Structure 1
Amino acid sequence: MAWIYLIVAGLFEIGFTSCLKLSNNFTNIKWSTAFFFCIITSFLLLNKAIQEIPIGTGYAVWTGIGAVGTVVMGILLFKEPSDFWRIFFIFTLIASIIGLKLVSK
C-alpha cells in the first residue's frame, strides 16, 4: 500500500507544479488554491509512504515521478521543447525510478 501512496503523492506533485505555473505568480485564486491543495496532499501521502519505504528511496521516487510528469505536462500543456536529449534523460530518470523500486524491500 505504501507504494500506492507514493505514486499518488507523485501525481499530486505533478499537480502542484502545474498549478504553480497556472497560478500566474499566485494572482489566479483558482489555480493558487489548487496548488495548495495538491502540495499538502502530496506531502501527506509522501509522509505516509515513507513509514514503510526507506526515506531515500521514497523521496527519490516521489521526486522522479514529479520531475518526469512535470516535464511531460510542460511539453503537452505549455509547449515546452521536446528535443532528443531532453527525452533521452527523461527515460534515463524513469529507468532509475524503476531500478529503485526493484532493489527496495
Structure 2
Amino acid sequence: MAWFYLIIASFGEIFGVASINMYLKKKSWRWLITLIASFAFGFYFLALAMEDIPLGTAYAVWTGLGATGAVIMGVVVFKESMNVIRALFLTCIICGAVGLRIVS
C-alpha cells in the first residue's frame, strides 16, 4: 500500500507544479489555493508512504515521478516544446528514479 501512496503523492506534485504555472498566468486566489492544496495532498500521501518506505527511496521516486509527470503535463497541456535534449534529460530523470543500472 505504501507504493500506492507514493504514486498518489507524485500526482500531488504534478498538479502542484501545474497549479504554479496557472497561478503565474492568471494571478488568482483560486489557483493559489489549488497550488497549496495540491502540494498538501502530495505531502500527506508522501508521509503515509514513508511509514514503510525509507526516506531516500521514497523521496527519489516521488521527485522522479513528479518531475517526469510535470514535464509530460507541460508538453501535453501547456504546449511546451519537446526536443531531443529535453527527452534525453527526462530519460535520465526516469532512469535515476527507477535506479536503472547499466551493466558493461
Aligned to 2:31: 31
Size of the alignment, in residue pairs?
Answer: 100
Q: Which amino acid aligns with 1:53?
A: I
Identity of aligned residues (%): 37
- C-alpha displacement of 1:26: 7.7
Alignment check: 8 A CA contact 1:64 1:97 kept: yes
Aligned-pair RMSD on alpha carbons? 1.7
Aligned to 2:93: 93
Paired with 1:26 and 1:93, the residues of 2 have a C-alpha distance of 30
- In structure 2, do the counterparts of structure 1 residues 48 and 28 end up closer, same or farther at CA, with 3 Å as the change threshold? same
Secondary structure of the corresponding residue to residue 23 of structure 1: helix
Q: Which amino acid aligns with 1:2?
A: A
Paired with 2:24 and 2:33, the residues of 1 have a C-alpha distance of 12
Paired with 1:93 and 1:57, the residues of 2 have a C-alpha distance of 14
Secondary structure of the corresponding residue to residue 82 of structure 1: coil
Aligned to 1:7: 7
Q: Structure 1-normalised TM-score?
A: 0.85
- C-alpha displacement of 1:29: 1.8
Q: Structure 2-normalised TM-score?
A: 0.86
- C-alpha displacement of 1:80: 1.8
Work out whether 1:56 is the aligned partner of 2:41: no
Alignment check: 8 A CA contact 1:26 1:32 kept: no
Alignment check: 8 A CA contact 1:10 1:66 kept: yes
Alignment check: 8 A CA contact 1:18 1:70 kept: yes
Alignment check: 8 A CA contact 1:64 1:93 kept: yes
- In structure 2, do the counterparts of structure 1 residues 94 and 49 end up closer, same or farther at CA, with 3 Å as the change threshold? same
Alignment check: 8 A CA contact 1:2 1:49 kept: yes
Which segments of 5 or more consecutive residues in structure 2 lack a partner in the other structure? Answer: none
